[in-house]
Structure 1
Amino acid sequence: MKLSTEGAVLVDEHGRQRVLHGINLVQKEAPFQAAWDAEDLAQLVDMGLDAVRLGVMWAAVEPEPGLYDEEHLAHLEEQLDMLHRAGLAVVLDAHQDLFSQSFGDGAPAWATLTTHAYEPAGLWSEAYLSSSAVQESLDAFWADAPGPGGVGIRSRFVAMWAHVARRLVGHPAVIAVDVLNEPAPGALAGQAFEALLGSLAARTGQEPGVVAEELADPGRRLSQLARLEDPALHRAVTDDVAGLLAPFESGPVQDLFVQAAAAIREVRPGMLILREHGYFSNLGVPAAIAPLEGPWAYSPHGYDLVVDTEAMVLASDQRISTIFARAAETAQRLGAPVVVGEWGAFGDLVGIGAHAETQLEMFDERSWSWFYWTWESSFPHSEAAGHLRRPHPVAVAGRELRAGHSAGGSWKAAWTGRACAAPTEFWVPPERDVELIIDGARASILREGARVLIDPLEGEHRLRVL
């Protein structure tokens, strides 16, 4: 499959609108060997998933400056072979959390330029805000500070992508490249968080110290987060820091994506690039990203503010709706397709079904592609997995696609059909019935297990899953 774009629509080589339903497969720890096998991949396909966002760890690819681990790249190639045999398309994702393998995962130690010792935070992600080691290393990366051999660290990262492109991006499984997971600022992160606290305090008539103290206390954090159930307040607080973060996204982050996209496309012309927003936009801060040349899609991430804590089972539908509404506004401003790179993070939690459905309905209504975070060995038996097993469009010979559950509980899709060389395809659980209406008249379909195939005809199409 080869993906490109037509305005805000993701299209395949036949001109059909594509909607990806996928999952993240990321091995963050050395020796960076995949924990999944062909049987695991078959389970993903059986629940209707058709794509994978596969983690590529800089530390594994380039363990020494300028020296690439060809054995590890061969392992990644074997993974691509296995994924392709399973029928799963692949987005290659340069993954990082806290920038470096020295603190979390991502960059090799030689590319981690800091004079500070790392001290973990209570919640792993809080180290972005509190760790001088993380912040200094990120600042060095974004400034392209010289590392070993006098070569800039960011330049080394771009060169790494060029090498990966030569080895892997031409593989038939690969449909896109996600240049860098969740670009995060360095020292600016602490300033932005202080600004968020200050805005929340000022807009709710509290002392900043009280807000900071309660947010730092797991037992009292929810009382502050509950204030952001008010969409107007959530928007106002995040708007207040957008200007502080905008130069970071429009400056060094934009430079990185432009440089990396050029390096990848020099080897693989026309490759689809996924453009993420900055780390703070995961919380609802408006993204200041700019378009890229060539085929590209906007790839937001979004989690409720209780993610990775014991309170995740109490995640707010309203807060996550505000976060993804901001992403929708960014996509509209840019006129770009949306591929949600991460959402969910439900693990084995029980009782998260309504929260999952809220997001899945948002994605359906907007015809967004998505990748659930994340696969682990227990995933197929989780409550979350059950909710991902739902009807959805795969490839639509037409435009103006809209979908979702109706008030009566059935799942519906509608689109304006176009003639093309390949059929429309939906994935529908085999046990559910399907009916199709074209221009007001009942029409036939072909069913092959969970695949629903529809002739690529013009006209107004209405599909209902009973």
Structure 2
Amino acid sequence: MDKMRVSGDRFVNERGEQVIFNGINLVEKDPANDMITPGGDRLYEQLATHGFNLIRFGIYWNKVEPAPGQIDMAYLGRVAAQIQLAARHELYVFLDMHQDLYAAKWGDGAPDWAVQDDGLAFNRSGLWSDSYFISPGLHHAQDHFWANDPASDGVGLTDHYLHAWQAIAKYFLEADNVIGFDLMNEPFPGSQAQEIVQAVLGYAGQRFQVTPDQLMAMWLDDTAKQKLLAQLNEGDTYSAVLQAMTPAVQAFETQTLNPFYEKMAAGLHDLLNGKALFLESSVFANIGVPSALTFTADNSLVYAPHAYDLVVDTNHFESYSTARLDHSLKVIRATQEKAGVPVVLGEWGAYFNQPETKAISEFHIQHVEANQWSQTYWSYYPEFFSSPTAAVLDRPYPQAINGDLRRYRYDPATQQFELAFKTLPGTSRIFVPHLATVELSQLAAQGMRADKRALPGGTGGVLFITADREQEVVLHLQIG
């Protein structure tokens, strides 16, 4: 497989072609499956024939380093076996050190020996993520981690975390289809989150004429929460709430998260072999708070934000707000323009099989296409391929452009695909679902030579478009 690298704000392969990734999360959280998504070779074949070429693959600190300084090489070997299956089907991978609620004992992530909760409580909420805000034990454990306080062996917690990542990077040094490392899933600030929460409660309490305690009670009550969210569907109100959060969120990123990433980057610098480091902003940026991450110009950094609406992980898909999501996605674009790095939208969705989610999935993809982002949808589950979102993602898109990609867009209503690019002499690669329906005469009529190759296990395939010279091309294809 081609080695990938970062060049400015895009990915390129060994021939300098611009690469777009259409991906999905394989982040298994069931210990009964060894925290590895079941499915084997057949799963990777299905992903490839449905147009996926990238996997965000979840790994876990407690699995990598089960005891201080002890790396479980057998676990890394089992991960490597999955990566080799992915390579068999031309699927690229970046490894995500996943955590939810910081620790394996509360959710997943840190091993027990790295949890210093000072004897304080962890309080489980009805919606799992709300436990972040009501658990002082979790806050203290995160504080000790960010402070690099020593574990039982006297070595600092972030030093241990770096050691685990160094072991991972060494293990996968020569794996060409591993394009990088997502250093931490959804970083949470610990006790500093209380300052963020209080800023929101203070503003929103004034806005809705309730006390902070009443507002928090509304947030934790499902019925009351839906009424509250309806009032946050208006763009200006939502933006004002996020502005109230922004100073404290950005203080965490500036004072804590940026130095942490700099430490990880320095420790991994000689072990990357062209691979990229994927940097996620604070978990609060998931809903549209502007990030204060800094990116150096060393051609190894990727911005990997998440984008969720406030009703994520609930059953109220009918309440998803395009206004709120539009705000969040535009904030991501502004951050990218300032940083000058590629974007992989690392998580979005969690839409599952609800019919209401087709339109909102299409809304996400419109932004992905307009900004020439790559993405990894959250997430695969056994019924995924029959879901509305799977149908949206199984679409034509440019996988590798030999030249300068101007724009591309697929209209699912008309099944029209438009691709505009300035060609260089050579071949570009386009994924097309239902490849047999594409008539090569469409391309010949537009002055292009083309060939196609079906992918095994389904109806999808690859369209190869060859140019003999530099020229501006606008292609229109009828798909299906």
**Shared topology, TM-score over 0.5?**
yes
Match of 2:395 in 1: 390
Structure 1 residues 147 and 370: alpha-carbon distance in aligned structure 2, compared to 1, 3 A threshold:
same
Instruction: Quote the Cα distance in structure 2 between the aligned partners of 1:156 and 1:407.
Output: 48
Aligned 8 A contact 2:18 2:405 in 1: no
Please tell me whether residue 7 in structure 1 is matched to residue 18 in structure 2.
no
How much does 1:39 deviate?
0.8
Q: Distance in 2 between matches of 1:43 and 1:313?
A: 29
Q: Which shows bigger deviation, 212-221 or 177-186?
A: 212-221
What amino acid is the match of 2:87?
A: H
Distance 1:365 1:55 in 2: 28
- Call closer, same or farther: CA 1:413–1:201 in 2, change over 3 Å: farther
Q: Which of 103, 112, 116 is the equivalent residue of 1:109?
A: 112
Aligned residue for 2:176?
172
- Does residue 455 (structure 1) correspond to residue 466 (structure 2)? The answer is yes
Task: Give the partner amino acid of 2:475.
Answer: L
CA distance in structure 2 between the aligned counterparts of 1:339 and 1:418, rounded to whole angstroms: 24
For 1:351, which of 356, 360, 373 is the aligned residue? 356
1:192 partnered with 2:196: yes
The answer as to 2:266 corresponding to 1:262 is yes
Taking the TM superposition and a 5 Å limit, the aligned residue runs for 1:370-409 are 370-405=375-410, 409=414
Question: How far 1:184 moved relative to its partner?
Answer: 0.9
Cα deviation, residue 190, structure 1:
2.5
2 CA distance for matches of 1:419 and 1:173?
A: 25
Describe how 1:269-418 pairs up with structure 2 within 5 A: 269-292=273-296, 293-405=298-410, 409-418=414-423
Q: Please point out which of 419, 426, 433 is paired with 2:438.
A: 433
From 56, 60, 85, the counterpart of 2:63: 60
Asked if structure 2 preserves the Cα contact closer than 8 Å seen for 1:23 and 1:375, the reply is yes
Contact 2:440-2:451 at 8 Å conserved across structures: no
Q: Name the structure 1 match of 2:476.
A: 464
Q: Which amino acid aligns with 2:270?
A: E
Deviation at 1:247, TM superposition (A): 2.1
Q: Secondary structure at the match of 1:214?
A: helix
2: CA distance, partners of 1:146 / 1:41: 41
Counterpart of 1:202 in structure 2: which amino acid?
Q
Q: Which runs of 5+ in 2 are unaligned?
A: 455-460
Aligned partner letter, 1:95: H
User: 2:43 corresponds to which letter in structure 1?
Assistant: D
Cα deviation, residue 195, structure 1: 1.3
Give the letter aligned to residue 454 of structure 1: I
Amino acid at match of 1:461: V
2:223 paired with 1:219: yes
Distance in 2, matches of 1:32 and 1:192, equals 32
Does the 8 Å CA contact 1:24/1:375 hold for their aligned counterparts?
Answer: yes
Q: CA deviation at 1:242?
A: 1.0
Q: Give, in whole Å, the separation in 1 of the partners of 2:113 and 2:221.
A: 36
Distance change >3 Å, CA 434–CA 336, structure 1 → 2 = farther
Q: 1:436 to 1:416 in 2, by over 3 A?
A: farther
The 10-residue stretch of structure 1 (379-388 or 355-364) with the greater mean CA deviation from structure 2: 379-388
With over 3 angstroms needed to count, the CA separation of the structure-2 counterparts of 1:60 and 1:436, relative to structure 1, is farther
- The answer to whether the Cα contact below 8 Å between 1:436 and 1:444 also exists between their aligned partners in 2 is no
Residues 128, 190 of structure 1: 8 Å contact kept: no
| C-alpha contact 1:8 1:335 (8 A) present in aligned 2 | yes
- 1:290 Cα deviation after fit: 0.5
**Deviations for 1:192-228, whole angstroms, at most 9, x for unmatched residues?**
1221232233345555444333222211212221222
> How far has the Cα of 1:255 moved from its partner?
1.8
The CA distance in 1 between the partners of 2:176 and 2:140, in whole Å, is 39
Deviates more, 1:375-384 or 1:336-345: 375-384
Give the aligned residue type for 1:352.
Answer: T
In the alignment, is the contact (CA less than 8 A) between 1:96 and 1:104 conserved in 2?
A: yes
Calculate the TM-score normalised by the size of structure 2: 0.91
CA gap of 1:68–1:453, structure 2 versus 1, over 3 A, is same
Alignment check: 8 A CA contact 1:436 1:462 kept: no
Shift of 1:158: 0.6
Q: In structure 1, what residue type is equivalent to 2:325?
A: I
The 3 A distance-change label for structure 1 pair 411 and 256 is farther
Equivalent residue of 2:277, what SS? strand
Amino acid at match of 1:279: V
Q: Which residue identity is paired with 1:259? A: K
Report which stretch shifted further, 342-351 or 427-436.
427-436
Instruction: For 1:7 and 1:89, locate their aligned partners in 2 and report how far apart those are by CA, in whole Å.
Output: 20
- Report the CA distance between 1:150 and its aligned residue: 1.0
- Give the match for residue 77 of structure 1: 80
Q: 1:122-169 CA deviation, whole Å, 9 max, x = no partner?
A: 111111111112111111111111112111101100111001111124
- Please give the secondary structure, in 1, of the residue aligned with 2:232: helix
Q: How far, CA to CA, are the matches of 1:2 and 1:257 in structure 2?
A: 24
Aligned-partner Cα distance in 2 for 1:360–1:210 = 37
Using the TM superposition, give the Cα deviation of residue 437 of structure 1 relative to its aligned residue in structure 2, in angstroms: 8.9
Aligned amino acid, residue 5 of structure 1: V
Deviations 1:360-415 (A, max 9, x none): 11111111100011111221222221221111110111224312245973443333
> Kindly tell me: are residues 328 and 33 of structure 1, through their superposed partners in 2, closer, same or farther at Cα, counting changes over 3 Å?
closer
Q: Distance in 1 between matches of 2:6 and 2:142?
A: 32
Which among 126, 137, 144 is matched to residue 130 of structure 2?
Answer: 126
Match of 1:50 in 2: 53
Could you state the TM-score of these two structures normalised by the residue count of structure 1? 0.94
Rounded to whole Å, the distance in 1 between the matches of 2:174 and 2:353 is 36
Q: RMSD of the TM alignment (CA)?
A: 2.2
Given the alignment of the two structures, is residue 251 of structure 1 paired with residue 261 of structure 2, yes or no?
Answer: no
Question: Bigger shift: 87-96 or 429-438?
Answer: 429-438
Separation of aligned partners in 2, 1:150 and 1:379: 45
CA distance in 2, matches of 1:327, 1:20: 17
CA distance, structure 1, for counterparts of residue 14 and residue 29 of structure 2:
33
Cα drift, residue 230 of structure 1? 1.9
Distance in structure 2 (CA, Å) of the matches to 1:97 and 1:313 = 26
Percent identity, please.
Answer: 29
Q: Which deviates more from structure 2 when the two are superposed, residues 30-39 or residues 173-182?
A: 30-39
